[in-house]
Amino acid sequence: MEKIPSHTKKRHFGMVIDLDKCTGCASCMVACYSENNISFRDEESVKMLSTNWIQVFKLTNGKPFPDTEVCYLPKPCMQCDGKHFGHSPCVSVCPAVATDFDYPTGIVSQIYTRCFGCRYCMAACPYHARKFNWWDPVWPADMEKYLSPDVSPRMRGVVEKCTFCYHRFQRARQQAYNEGRPEDIREDEYQTACTQACPSNAITFGDLDNPDHAVYKLKNSRYAFRLLERLNTNPSVYYLSTREWVHRAADNYLEHEQPAFSEEQQA
Partner 1 sequence: MTTPAIPEGVKRCGSRQFLLWLGVAALVVLWGVYAMYRIWFYGLNQTNMNNAYGFALWIWADLAVIALGGGAFFSGFLAYIIGLKNVKNIINFAVILGVVCYTSALLILGLDVGQPLRGWFIFWHANVHSMLTEVAFCLSVYLGVLIIEFIPVLLENPKIQKVRFFHHLSHNMHEIMAVFAATGVFLSFFHQGSLGGVPGVLYGRPFAFREGLFVWPWTFFLFTWSAAAVGPLFTASMCRLTEAITRKKLVKDDVYHLLAKISGWMLLTYIIAKSIDTIYWATVTAPSMGFALMDFYSNNPLYNIWILVAEIAVCGFLPALILITRKGRENKKLLFGAAILAIIGLLINRWVMVLQVMAAPLMPFQEEWFMYSPAWTEVATSILPIAYGIILISLAYRYLPLFPQEKELNPGN
Partner 2 sequence: MSTQTDNTSNTPSNDPSPKKGATGWVILAFFIIGFGFSLLSGWVGFPKLLYKEVPHPIDFNHALHMDLVYDGCDSCHYFRKDGSFSGSPTLDECRDCHGFVMGINENEEKFAEEYVLEDKEVPWNNYAKQPDCVYFSHAPHVKGAEMDCATCHGDIGESESLRPYQENRLTGYSRDIWGWNMSRLGEPEYAPRMKMMDCVNCHVEQTDSKGNCFQCHK
Partner 3 sequence: MKIDRRCFLSLAGGLVAGHLLSPVPWKVTDDLSIWTQNWPWTPVPETGPVAWKETVCTMCPGGCGIKVRMIKDRVIKIEGSEDYPINRGSLCPLGYSSIQYLYGPSRVTSPMKRTGERGSGKFEPVSWDEAISEVSGKLDALRKNGQSHTVACISGSDKGTVPLLFKRFLEAYGSPNFIRTPSGQDAHETAAYLAQGHSDKNVGFDLENATFILSFGCGLLDGGGAPGYQFSTYSRFDRRHTLVQVEPRLSNTAAKAKKWLAAKPGTEGALALGLARVIIENGLYNRNFIENHSFGFEDWTDDNGAIHMGFKRMVSEYTPSRVAGITGLEARQIESLARDFARAQKPVAVCGYNECRAVADIDKTLAVHALNALVGNINQSGGMIVFPDPEYTVSPVEKDRIASTGLTKPRADMAGTDKYPQSRYLLNLLPDILMSAKESDLPVQALLVTGANPVYTLEDSTTAQAAFAKIPFIVSFSSFMDETAQYADIILPDHHFLEGYRDVPPPEGVGKPITGLSKPVVSPRYDTRNTGDTIIDIARKMGGSISNSFPWDGYEAFLKEALKDQYRDLSRNGYVENVEKPAALDVAFATDSGKYEFYPTRRHTTGNGDEAKLPGFKETDVPGKETSGGVILIAYKSPRIASGAVANPPFMTKTIDADMLKKEKLFIQINPETAGKLNLKQGDEAVIETSAGKASVKVDLYDGIMPGLAAMPAGLGHTAYSRYIAGKGVNVNALLQPVADPTYGINKAWGIRAQLKKA
> Residues interacting with partner 1, by CB under 8 A?
46, 48-50, 57, 59, 73, 83, 89, 92-98, 114-120, 122-128, 130-136, 155-159, 227-228, 230-233, 248-255, 257
Letters for 39-68 (x = contact with partner 3 by CB under 8 A, - = none) are: -x-xxxxxx--x-x---x-x-x-xxxxx-x
Q: Tell me the C-alpha distance between 122 and 55, whole Å.
A: 16
Single-letter amino acid, residue 65? F
- Tell me whether residue 138 or residue 186 sits nearer to partner 1 (CB atom): 138
**256 near partner 3 (CB under 8 A):** no
Residue 48 per-residue DSSP state: G
- Binding partner at 35 among partner 1, partner 2, partner 3, none, C-beta below 5 to 8 Å by kind: partner 3
Based on the shown chain and the rule CB under 8 A, indicate whether residue 24 belongs to the binding site for partner 3. yes
101-104 contacts at long range (C-beta below 8 A, 24 or more positions apart): 102/166, 103/3, 103/4, 103/10, 104/4, 104/5, 104/8, 104/9, 104/10, 104/11
- Report, in Å, the least distance between residue 66 CB and partner 2: 48
Residues that bind partner 2 (CB under 8 A): 2-8, 97, 100, 102-105, 107, 109, 111-114, 150-153, 163, 166-167, 170-171, 173-180, 182
In this structure, are residues 167 and 150 in contact, taking their beta carbons and an 8 Å threshold? Answer: yes
Of 135 and 177, the one with the shorter C-beta distance to partner 1 is 135
What span, in angstroms and rounded, lies between the C-alpha atoms of 229 and 223? Answer: 14
Which is nearer to partner 3, 44 or 212 (by Cβ)? 44
Q: In this complex, which beta carbon is closest to partner 1, that of residue 85 or of residue 253?
A: 253
- How many CA within 13 A on the CB side of residue 256? 0
* Residues 247 and 225 sit within 8 Å (Cβ to Cβ): yes
Least Å distance, CB 100 to partner 2, is 5
In the bound complex, what is the minimum distance in angstroms from residue 130's beta carbon to partner 2?
16
Task: Confirm if 54 and 195 have CB atoms less than 8 A apart.
Answer: no
Beta strands in 181-264 (DSSP E): 203-207, 224-225, 237-240
What would the x/- binding string for partner 3 be over residues 203 to 242, using CB under 8 A? ----------------------------------------
- Give CA–CA dist 27/197, Å, rounded: 6
CA dist 179 and 183 (Å) reads 11
Q: Which is nearer to partner 1, 174 or 232 (CB)?
A: 232
Binding-site partner at residue 5 among partner 3, partner 1, partner 2, none, CB < 5 to 8 Å by type: partner 2
Residue 215 CB, shortest distance to partner 3, in Å, is: 17
CA distance 179 to 51: 37
Element spanning 101, H or E: strand 99-102
Binding site for partner 3 (CB under 8 A): 21, 23-27, 29-31, 33-35, 37, 40, 42-47, 50, 52, 56, 58, 60, 62-66, 68-72, 112-113, 136-137, 139-149, 152-157, 193, 196-201
